[in-house]
Structure 1
Amino acid sequence: MKNKIVKALFLVAFTIVTTQVSYAQASLNNTVQTHKDESIRPFHINIPESKIADLKARIQNTKWADRELVSNETQGVKLETMKSLADYWGTQYNWRKIESKLNSYPQFITNIDGVDIHFIHVRSKNKKALPMIITHGWPGSVIEQLKIIEQLTNPEKFGGKAEDAFDVVIPSIPGHGFSAKPTDLGWNPVHIAKAWIKLMDRLGYHKYVAQGGDWGNAISENMALIAPEALLGIHTNMAAAVPQEISDALAKGKMPSNLDADEKNAFEQLDFFYKKGLGYAQEMSLRPQTLYAIDDSPIGLAAWMLDHDDRSQKLIARVFAGGQEGLSKDDILDNISLYWFTNTGVSSARLYWEASQGATGGFFDPRGIKIPVAVSAFPDEIYATPKSWAQSAYPKLIYFNKLNKGGHFAAWEQPELFVHEMRNAFKSFRGKL
């Protein structure tokens, strides 16, 4: 019975003339829907020094919880990890470095369906570059994709060929980052998918591909279901490919006897996630407004974001213990700081609530995608998709690769591997623009 309840909660939880814009203007746009001007306006980030000073003061004045009563992470993010994070965040971390990095790329705002959408748009010098829209997830942001932009748009500089080039469009999901916070209901993954289709059309792209993991996968797959003529295919690094018989077995808590090694591994990963890793999604899908503390306390926000999935959380704990991993201390705090300065802890959580309204299936249930799909299975994802499941879920599976390292934030953690996957996944679409 307990497993059935957990599974039911999981289904509810997951189912998805130009002017220079200053931070002062952006903060207003971030809180309310704005006018319906459909122009594309340049965007520039400049967080006031007072906001940075306030963040450091709040970190300094953290009221700490008692230490956990176990020697591992089974009670949540360990106090030792959070104190190490706080010490670095409050004394050594420099927001201006990532702000400068973001501002080094062309950023824009455009209004779609009454909501201002922030996006990065970098065109390759190669006139035959393949356009690709890349969507982040939670607790991610456009920062996840910064390491891959130059490799995708300028492949010759990084060991690739001119014909490997992409134009990249990287939007911030509404309620996340520098996109506005919707003030009307209904901004679920389907609505966002329709907005992305409008965005690509507005940018003049008549043939393109889409990529995403986490919410980015749900949004990309909904774009595929809408199937505009312009969308050639999609790539996912967190596939919705769990067969119904596996979902039924997970609900019963009993692994089928006929699974191969990759299927057994995926089953065990999902079983762990459903039983022990789903708390954040349950809260955000059922009661997101209750999370006032994450918009008030930077340490509260950081702990909430760190405890997304077991492998990512352990990786981050190792980083703040002095280890060398795919992510650095600055990487992790760049992303958390973006959420803090845009005050998007609660507004981003509402996407889980929106996706749960009227939901009839789970996040990992196949959606019946009929256009070409490419899949990359990273071992430390919430679950590493077996090829057999991908073949069943996606009748037009054009590419599949099982990688030996990388996790939930694949582009962020393993940018070279990720870029290699994009080149191979979409190779068949070259010359079809």
Structure 2
Amino acid sequence: MTIPANPATAFKVAVSDEALDRLARRLEDTHLPTEDIVPDAGWEYGTNLTKLRQLVDDWRRGDPEGGEGKPTSLKGNGVKDWWKHVEGRMNRHPHFLTTIEGVKVHFQLARSKDPNAIPLIFSHGWPGSFFEADLILDELTRTDRPGPSFHVVVPSLPGYGFSGPPPRKGWQLKDTARLFNSLMVDVLQSPAYMAQGGDWGYVVTRHLALYSGCKIYHTNFAPPNIPPYAKPLVTLEKAGWKGIVPKAMSYLFYDQFEIHGVQRGLEYLTTGSGYFEIQSTKPATVGYGLHDSPVAVLSYLLEKFQLWSDPRSPAFCKPTDKANNLSGITDENILINTTLYYLSSTIHTSFLPYYESTDSVLSLGKDHKLTAPSAHKPYGLSAFPYELAASPRSWLPRLNVNVCQYKRHDYGGHFAALDNPQALSADVREFAANHWPSS
């Protein structure tokens, strides 16, 4: 299927000088604490103050560490010049705006030169954005790799980036999936397509798989649907019996990769999910407070990137360790993602899926009537060691999915398209090569 040359209104990422000047002024006026909340707080109490101060200084100067291909002439010339360079990077693949069901939908489209390329829709999550796909676009559109090439479609979820906000109360991710299916089938004229996603993009992808146009689907996140025999152990672990779950899993012959994934899920529930409780109950309160402060947005998102990424990434690697330079979890990419939230004024609306769609995650694991249309479609999963909560391979059928490919990797975390773009791209290509319908 050939995607139309002009599928919607062309759009360029081009923030006004006025908005960038205001961002520069806000960064210049930053007033952060000079000492940790308690001595040697590190990351234990939340965002690390030393790291935050370093990133704010780099942001203000327009000289973030980890910048990819940034001309020397731009270094240190301020946030405005830096962002103009970032816009050039983003605009190497075209962007478009369209309206579906009255909702403004922004999407980026990276076309392959192969006329038989597979249409692939990538759905991002929180605290990510369409920029999550930046490091896989060029790889997936290549035609010199074994297997298929792709036309990659990367929309912004409603309430994120350059898409409009959800149009009403009660807008759920299943509604977003309906928009995205219409984007693929009606706007892009692709009656057959593949879907991929993680985090909230996992939920969108699972719902896209319910439509006939989505032929195969792949995720890098699969929230655990805990088997009945394990639930009492989890209850004991949360009540203070630390270590009982991993010990029991070792007796039941789960391997260390699977045990580590479940351990991270338990740690998330006990020490890492406070934001979830706020955003799923009173999203406006914290959203309005963050809206006008770029540094507040950075502090809020930075903790998530540190906690959910592989600690060997360039942004968070300890000085005594060697960073994985294949990772896109760099200071610059974290600042690009943060700047998108601030300049698009969407930090508050990005919280809405937590308020409206939390039940969607549970229903995808329990309501087999709901997921019946996708139960026999090929499904693939890429598993990374620093996922925030992971399912052992044997638990996946409880999600009512037809697991046709399961790939484990030694490096990577929750933001797989940034954290290990090469592995995710290779998995997607291999999965499509083996399971995309031939006719």
Q: TM-score, normalised by structure 2?
A: 0.82
The CA deviation at 1:386 is 2.0
Pairing 1:198–2:185 present:
no
The CA deviation at 1:392 is 4.2
Pick one of 201, 205, 217 that aligns with 1:220. 205
- Stretches of structure 2 that go unaligned for 5 or more consecutive residues are 1-5, 64-81, 238-243
Pick one of 276, 280, 289 that aligns with 1:281. 276
Matches of 1:229 and 1:360, distance apart in 2: 20
Are the counterparts in 2 of residues 177 and 339 from structure 1 also a CA contact under 8 Å?
yes
Q: Which residue of 1 aligns with 2:127?
A: 139
The CA deviation at 1:86 is 0.5
SS of alignment partner, residue 176 of structure 1: coil
Mapping 1:146-225, distance limit 5 Å: 146-156=134-144, 160-161=145-146, 163-202=147-186, 203-224=188-209
SS of alignment partner, residue 155 of structure 1: coil
**What root-mean-square deviation, in Å, do the aligned CA atoms of Structure 1 and Structure 2 show?**
2.4
Moved more, 64-73 or 311-320: 311-320
Bigger relative CO (Cα 8 Å, ≥ 6 apart): 1
Q: Which residue of 1 aligns with 2:32?
A: 64
Mapping 1:386-397, distance limit 5 Å: 386-397=392-403
Matches of 1:360 and 1:123, distance apart in 2: 32
Q: Which residue of 2 aligns with 1:50?
A: 18
Q: Which residue of 2 aligns with 1:348?
A: 350
The CA deviation at 1:318 is 2.3
Q: Which residue of 2 aligns with 1:25?
A: none
Are the counterparts in 2 of residues 243 and 366 from structure 1 also a CA contact under 8 Å?
no
**Percent of aligned pairs sharing the same letter:** 28
What one-letter code is carried by the residue in structure 2 that aligns with 1:165?
Answer: S
The CA deviation at 1:395 is 4.5
Mapping 1:245-284, distance limit 5 Å: 245=228, 246-247=230-231, 249-253=233-237, 254-255=244-245, 256=248, 258=252, 260-261=254-255, 262-284=257-279
Q: Which residue of 2 aligns with 1:298?
A: 294
Deviations 1:309-331, CA, capped at 9 Å, x for gaps:
62439557626979845222211
What one-letter code is carried by the residue in structure 1 that aligns with 2:410?
Answer: N
Are the counterparts in 2 of residues 41 and 110 from structure 1 also a CA contact under 8 Å?
yes
Are the counterparts in 1 of residues 365 and 398 from structure 2 also a CA contact under 8 Å?
no
What one-letter code is carried by the residue in structure 2 that aligns with 1:355?
Answer: S
Q: Which residue of 2 aligns with 1:339?
A: 341
Matches of 2:400 and 2:220, distance apart in 1: 14
Q: 1:410 to 1:338 in 2, by over 3 A?
A: same
Are the counterparts in 2 of residues 391 and 397 from structure 1 also a CA contact under 8 Å?
yes
The CA deviation at 1:204 is 0.7
Moved more, 129-138 or 235-244: 235-244
Pick one of 197, 206, 213 that aligns with 1:230. 213
Matches of 2:274 and 2:314, distance apart in 1: 19
What one-letter code is carried by the residue in structure 1 that aligns with 2:344?
Answer: T
**Count of paired positions:** 388
Matches of 1:184 and 1:387, distance apart in 2: 38
Deviations 1:98-129, CA, capped at 9 Å, x for gaps:
21122221211111111100001222121211
Are the counterparts in 1 of residues 260 and 385 from structure 2 also a CA contact under 8 Å?
no
Q: TM-score, normalised by structure 1?
A: 0.83
Q: Which residue of 1 aligns with 2:316?
A: 318
Matches of 2:361 and 2:97, distance apart in 1: 33
What one-letter code is carried by the residue in structure 2 that aligns with 1:343?
Answer: S
- Stretches of structure 1 that go unaligned for 5 or more consecutive residues are 1-19, 21-38
Q: Which residue of 2 aligns with 1:101?
A: 89
Matches of 1:59 and 1:222, distance apart in 2: 40
Q: Which residue of 1 aligns with 2:413?
A: 407
